[in-house]
Structure 1
Amino acid sequence: MEKIKFFSPDDLSCGMNLQKSEVILNEYYQGTRKIENINDAIEIYNIKKFFDNKLYLTKWTPTDIENFEKIIANIFGTVARYVRSVDDKNLENTYQETVFYYKSDFWRLIDKFKTYQNISVDIIEKLLFSSKVRLNEILKSKNLTEYYGIELKKYMLSEKSTAEILLDKYEIKHFREKEEIYLPKELSNHDKEIILLNYIDSDVPNLNYLRLIKNIQSNKDKIEVSPRTLLKAKRKAEEQEERFFEKSSGMEMETTVIFSKHAEKEVFLDNEGVKTTATYSSKWIEDNLDQATLLNNFIYMFEFVDR
């Protein structure tokens, strides 16, 4: 991981990232480094988060910390101007240039500096329906969700996998704190039920999610479904269980893992029915061999472990 990333106060790479931050901040102060692209801007945002959380190297004196905070405050003005320059004309290219572990931070900064006021609803809708933007990244921002509520609702009603976002928010018990997911206020309980029905009727709904749907306890403030929908989910789950676990039959599944030097993205996952293809950039892995990045690969690329 070439760029600095703040994950959490107890992340194992904090010390290494703070050492790199020291070098980078001094380079900005000396004028030998400047913000040239969106990843540079997001990197400063991540460095700032270490200081916001009072994370410092033990060798730093109070004067060192004060000086670094002044440097960050000065550079952050440039970050703001850079992010506010994003508009309809350059949004797609700027987002595509953003490295994969900065994607969520991209939208956080779009929210923070109210840059969404420069971005038309038509552009957001286009990017959503072309799968160039991930829905859950936008839904992590309350302001973006409110601003693009109508367009987000339209997309959610058309995309069957949206049901998994609803169930993850309302029905799954999480054993660690998760980022809040916001839903557009335009999305009614009736809309939510339609999303669940679309999922139940889809070609290969996940059996675990079907089991969640059939056991939903309706709550008008969260998610409310009719007995008919619960019964439909129950029957679909039983149908899958019978098909999956019948002794005389089996289910063919295919998983493909590809390491390519020519992959355009660090990681790309393609799920088509029961076929999953994971393509990884071997060049990116080979070019980023520091221990912190190798460890984080198992979190953010391979998803073997969480933070």
Structure 2
Amino acid sequence: MNRAILFSQYSQEWSCMLEKAETFMNNQSDLTKADINTLLELYKIKEHFDSERYLAKWSYWQKAYYVKLVDIAFILTQKLFLTLEPAAISKTLEQLDGKNIENFWKLFDFFQLHGKINRFVLCRLMDKYPAHARFIVQINQQN
């Protein structure tokens, strides 16, 4: 799959990454069928757009299209997270690409799902998915 690997919005590599993101966004035909990784990557692109980072070569209409695309993806992401049942979290974590782990937990916290999941479940997730432990601990410390 052709994915855009995006770095932090503060990285100096953002314009190069948005070039890759442009190709990625152009390949999105039906967001209702997008998997969790696609939605998380579009969220990362949204962070760049929220910081008003766009490619200079984009026309007004291209920029408007891409902004609308990531906004729609964010609505779908929100729906996915808010309907995520505790029993389904493990399956979702298994589907994540490594580069999307941090964004998953960032949105987990953003949508305040920590109240929906008890500590016992989070501890089991840390045991089963050690790569996620750091993010789970951060969420528990903040809340």
Calculate the TM-score normalised by the size of structure 1: 0.41
Conserved 8 A contact 1:50-1:56: yes
Conserved 8 A contact 2:81-2:111: yes
Structure that is richer in helix per residue: 2
Is 2:8 the counterpart of 1:7?
A: yes
Q: Which runs of 5+ in 1 are unaligned?
A: 148-307
Q: What SS does structure 2 have at the residue aligned with 1:89?
A: helix
Conserved 8 A contact 1:15-1:57: yes
The 1-side partners of 2:72 and 2:31 are apart by 14
Q: Which runs of 5+ in 2 are unaligned?
A: none
Cα deviation per residue 1:97-142 (whole Å; 9 max; x = unaligned)? 21112111111011111222332222112223x252443223444x
Conserved 8 A contact 1:39-1:102: yes
Residue 110 (structure 2) aligns with: 112
Cα deviation per residue 1:66-117 (whole Å; 9 max; x = unaligned)? 3322222122111111122322211112112211121111110111112223
By relative contact order (CA 8 Å, sep 6+), the higher-ranking structure is 2
Residue 17 (structure 2) aligns with: 17
Taking the TM superposition and a 5 Å limit, the aligned residue runs for 1:186-225 are none
Calculate the TM-score normalised by the size of structure 2: 0.79
1:9 to partner: Cα distance: 2.8
Distance change in 2, residues 1:107/1:101 (3 Å) = same
Aligned length: 141
Residue 93 (structure 2) aligns with: 95
Could you say what the CA RMSD is over the residues aligned between the two structures, in angstroms? 2.5
Residue 141 (structure 2) aligns with: 145
State, as a whole percentage, how many aligned pairs show the same letter. Answer: 21
Residue 52 (structure 1) aligns with: 50
Distance change in 2, residues 1:120/1:137 (3 Å) = same
Conserved 8 A contact 2:37-2:96: yes
Conserved 8 A contact 1:38-1:98: yes
Q: What SS does structure 2 have at the residue aligned with 1:81?
A: helix
In terms of Rg, which structure is larger? 1
Conserved 8 A contact 1:6-1:47: no
